[in-house]
Amino acid sequence: MAVISKRLLLSDLVSSDKIDQVPSNYIRPVSQRPNLQHVVHESIPLIDLHNLHGPDRSLVIDQIRLACREYGFFQVKNHRVPESTISNMMQIAREFFKLPEQERLKCYSDDPTKTTRLSTSFNIRTEKVANWRDYLRLHCYPLQDYIHEWPTNPTSFRDHVAEYCMSTRGLALQLIEAISESLGLDKDYINTQLGKHAQHMALNYYPPCPQPDLTYGLPGHTDLNLITILLQDEVPGLQVLKNGKWIAIDPVPNTFIINIGDQIQVMSNDKYKSVLHRAVVNCDKERISIPTFYCPSPNAVIGPAPELVTDDEPAVYRQFTYGEYYEKFWSRGLAKENCLDMFIAT
């Protein structure tokens, strides 16, 4: 009979207790399981950003528009984040999750309002079924407000992660301009709606799982922020919902996966959709993924762009502050209804 785990972190349960069954608190009801045999392997658009800075910019903008409309997801290459920055980031994440349990537990907290914390699953204060994941969550912009909270072990953690954050922020700003343009808005429109801007990241660690058909790394969800820039290692696990089918996105070295979050869906007045995605686990390999969540600052007022609201297409959402949205998102369960539904215009 499977037991309920007494350990705070999943990685320590898996590595120390040598379990050969998923503990009962991780098991999904039959109707909510991942059905891995029904997943299809398809690709999402791969967009070369090289031409974003030349005479063919409008062609790249067209590709972004199409990808945002049809998929809500795309991959990018020639993104200007150096290969060494990416490999150092991945290496430091790997080293962090290999630290002794006592060392990692120094960062542990299940309080979602903490700006630097190591936790497990999604939100253990609100969820009924746990997820097969540990994660370190960091706020990372403005850097000087948060870097002193970050781990100092491994010793180069702060240096490598700070470099990665600054570089991915540059990419986020390019993408935000391009997405703004692709909606027919001024290229600075979205940028100027974000207050002082914010950036968070997660280092996700998915240990091998003895029964991957029964549980999730992360169940289907949309991202609450503006856009997400996902770095993943070479182990597959990300799946995206398209036309009612789950598509597995196989990793491509040195590319990032970009997805539209809830705030772009709101600003675009539903022209672009924040698409459901999930992470599944597997029997024999651990997996690391590192999403960068680019966000408005908490006091930024978000709503449909006035230029995209017409008599025929009235505002779908009311205005709200990002802080209000953030709080609602974390206090409801991931598997529940879409958070956006709570902000529909009346």
The answer to whether 238 contacts ligand OGA (rule: CB under 6 A) is: yes
Q: How many residues bind ligand OGA (CB under 6 A)?
A: 11
Which entry of ligand OGA, Ni ion, none binds 232, CB below 5 to 8 A by partner kind? ligand OGA
72: left (phi over 0), alpha (psi -120 to 50) or beta: left
Tokens of residue 160, six digits: 């490598």
Which entry of ligand OGA, Ni ion, none binds 104, CB below 5 to 8 A by partner kind? none
Tell which residue, 99, 49, 42, 36, has the closest CA to residue 255: 49
Residue from 218, 260, 266, 295 touching ligand OGA (CB under 6 A): that is: 218
d(CA 136, CA 120): 9
d(CA 345, CA 87): 44
Tell which residue, 265, 208, 202, 207, has the closest CA to residue 231: 202
Which entry of Ni ion, ligand OGA, none binds 193, CB below 5 to 8 A by partner kind? none
DSSP structural state of residue 344? B
DSSP structural state of residue 253? T
**From the CB of 333, what's the least distance to Ni ion, in Å?**
15
Binding segment for Ni ion (CB under 5 A), chosen from 95-103, 223-231, 232-240, 329-337, is 223-231
Residues 277-316, mask of contacts with ligand OGA (x by CB under 6 A): x-x---------x-x-------------------------
**From the CB of 135, what's the least distance to ligand OGA, in Å?**
7
Residue type at 221? H
DSSP structural state of residue 335? T
Tokens of residue 325, six digits: 């949205």
Q: Which is nearer to ligand OGA, 9 or 316 (CB)?
A: 9
Tell which residue, 66, 117, 85, 22, has the closest CA to residue 229: 85
**From the CB of 137, what's the least distance to Ni ion, in Å?**
13
Q: Which is nearer to ligand OGA, 182 or 292 (CB)?
A: 292
Residue from 134, 223, 233, 286 touching ligand OGA (CB under 6 A): that is: 223
The answer to whether 131 contacts ligand OGA (rule: CB under 6 A) is: no
Q: Which is nearer to ligand OGA, 178 or 334 (CB)?
A: 334
Query: How many angstroms separate the Cα of 340 from the Cα of each of 24, 217, 264, 270?
Result: 31, 23, 11, 11
Binding segment for Ni ion (CB under 5 A), chosen from 18-26, 165-173, 191-199, 215-223, is 215-223
Which entry of Ni ion, ligand OGA, none binds 260, CB below 5 to 8 A by partner kind? none
Q: Which residues contact residue 25 at a Cβ distance below 8 angstroms, ignoring those fewer than 6 apart?
A: 4, 5, 129, 130
Tell which residue, 197, 182, 339, has the closest CA to residue 262: 339
Which entry of ligand OGA, Ni ion, none binds 238, CB below 5 to 8 A by partner kind? ligand OGA
Q: Which is nearer to ligand OGA, 181 or 223 (CB)?
A: 223
d(CA 293, CA 217): 18
Tokens of residue 63, six digits: 């590709």
Residue from 12, 223, 233, 286 touching Ni ion (CB under 5 A): that is: 223
Instruction: By CB under 5 A, name the binding residues for Ni ion.
Output: 223
Instruction: By CB under 6 A, name the binding residues for ligand OGA.
Output: 202, 204, 218, 223, 232, 237-238, 277, 279, 289, 291
